[in-house]
Amino acid sequence: MKSTMLLSAALMASSALAAPLVDNVALSQDNSRKVKITYTLTGEQAIVTVDIQTNGVSIGEANLTHFAGDVNRVVQPSKDGSDIRTAYWYPDRAWSDHKVDSATAVVTAWATNAPPDYMVVDLTDGDKTYYTSVDCLPGGAGLSNDLYRTERMVFRKIPARGVTWRMGSPLDEDGRFDDEKPHLVTLTRDYWFGVFPVTMAQHKRVMNDNSNVAPSVCFFTNLSSYATRPFQGAGPKDLFDTYIPAFQARTRGTLFTVPTEAQWEYAARAGVGTSLTTGKNLINVKTDVQLNELGRYGANHSAADSDSVTASIRENDDSSGTSKVGVFKANRWGIYDIHGNVHNICSDRYTADYDGDMDSVVTDPEGGDPASCSEFVARGGCWGYRGVNYASYCRLACRRSIANDVSKAVTFRHFGYRLCLEIE
């Protein structure tokens, strides 16, 4: 009897792990030109995406921006394959002046632990949708649409599962500091990583703050100036005690948090071992022209020639202070503002040395309990005046620390945060 029960459990487990399968795909069009796509899904629940093809060739992801129904989201399967799932495509909005007569629909089911490359969180209701490319994002114009800096948040899938890589900086890297010891790290999971730092508008949306008042440590006072710039003023205590719980609640309990230091550096590097995301190294540790295309830092904005942190900060002037997120060059995985704007707080306790020696491998390193840490690690460059943020502070391996002390809130103006979610 016992063995029979075990066999039954094994069969149930095997059945539960059945791969998602799409079948019975059909495409039709009504007089309004709205296209109806039907399909069946069996096996496991899956993320479903649709491509439209003519003569076996995709019409292009930029034309796939207006869908509704059972598409670009997690879809539940039918037990016996009899339940029809329906998606709608609106070619008049996305592919105008083209005939759909010869078009076919290609429906793809992605396992939820192996999703497409992009996830979007709607900050109004916490809904999550998924896309194969930023060109597919609703509304058109991809990431240049400010909707994704204000009302929605875009995440990139980072392919990290099972990868062993060298974290830190080479001993001969110009501008390096002693706390950047090179060492091997293995990450065991892929994860979602915010393509931008959290903006002021996104932060206010999550915190249900409808006022036009910026945090006291922000240099900008009106919403038109600060909405699409990164949130300034994130101290660890408020971040871990208030902001992250609020975001998790907004997304119905999804365990978003800030990345570990290793997750941040792996996503930032996108496969490069140099000091910059371009595959190049700094040529000047104080003022480097290479950073002009990569991020807002101490020497490439209007406050750069003064030691005053408030010098030349002007409302409605994007050459002053922090910059709008996503206007500088992204890394190879489409992650922006790695080399400047605001330091990103990580979940690790800051220590001056990494665990292990240079040749040992550390698996999924992570820091301490936020309640007991006095200092946390922050990564990435920042906009600060030149004495605070030379080019050397913008290198991929550079580490900063931030005190878990609200009495030091004036220093938080150089810090913000970026969200992360492990893919189970």
Q: Does residue 162 share a domain with residue 249?
A: yes
Task: Return contacts of 139-147, CB within 8 angstroms, 24+ apart.
Answer: 139/65, 140/62, 140/65, 140/94, 142/62, 143/195, 143/326, 144/326, 146/228
Rounded Cα gap, residues 386 and 390, in angstroms: 6
Rounded Cα gap, residues 160 and 195, in angstroms: 16
Q: Does residue 66 share a domain with residue 205?
A: no
Q: How confident is the model at residue 80 (pLDDT cuts 50, 70, 90)?
A: confident
Residues 6+ apart with CB under 8 A from 159: 190
Q: How many structural domains is the chain composed of?
A: 2
Rounded Cα gap, residues 356 and 354, in angstroms: 6
Domain CATH for 170: 3.90.1580.10
Which amino acid is present at 303?
A
Quick one: average pLDDT of 202-230? 87
Is residue 188 assigned to a domain? yes
Quick one: average pLDDT of 278-298? 95
Rounded Cα gap, residues 150 and 89, in angstroms: 25
Is residue 7 assigned to a domain? no
Q: Does residue 166 share a domain with residue 106?
A: no
Q: What is the pLDDT of residues 146-164, one digit of tens each?
A: 999 999 999 999 999 999 9
Residues 107, 22: contact at Cβ < 8 Å? yes
Is residue 136 assigned to a domain? no
Quick one: average pLDDT of 133-145? 94
Q: DSSP code of 32?
A: T
Rounded Cα gap, residues 140 and 108, in angstroms: 22
Is residue 152 assigned to a domain? yes
Angle, vertex CA 191, rays to CA 183 and CA 148, nearest 5? 125
Strand partners of residue 22: 41
Residues 6+ apart with CB under 8 A from 400: 343, 377, 378, 379, 393
pLDDT for residue 408 is more than 90: no
Q: Give, for 46, the enclosing helix (H) or strand (E).
A: strand 46-54
Is residue 303 assigned to a domain? yes
Quick one: average pLDDT of 254-271? 97
Give the domain extent around 97: 13-114
Quick one: average pLDDT of 88-115? 90
Q: How confident is the model at residue 7 (pLDDT cuts 50, 70, 90)?
A: very low
Mean pLDDT over the full length of the chain: 88
Which pLDDT score, from 0 to 100, does residue 264 have?
98
Rounded Cα gap, residues 317 and 225, in angstroms: 7
Q: Does residue 272 share a domain with residue 413?
A: yes
Quick one: average pLDDT of 298-310? 64
Model-wide pTM > 0.85:
yes
Residues 28, 89: contact at Cβ < 8 Å? no
SS3 325: coil
Is residue 124 assigned to a domain? no
Q: What is the pLDDT of residues 352-405, one digit of tens each?
A: 887 666 778 999 998 777 777 889 999 999 987 655 679 999 999 999 999 987
Domain boundary among 59, 93, 114: 114
Domain boundary among 73, 92, 114: 114
| Residue 66 CB coordination number (10 Å) | 17
Q: Does residue 275 share a domain with residue 229?
A: yes
Q: Does residue 219 share a domain with residue 94?
A: no
Sheet holding 361-363, edge to edge: 163-167, 183-187, 361-363
Q: Does residue 99 share a domain with residue 177?
A: no
Quick one: average pLDDT of 227-235? 91
pLDDT for residue 2 is more than 60: no
The percent helix, strand, coil of the chain (3-state, each to 5) is 20, 25, 55
Domain CATH for 99: 2.60.40
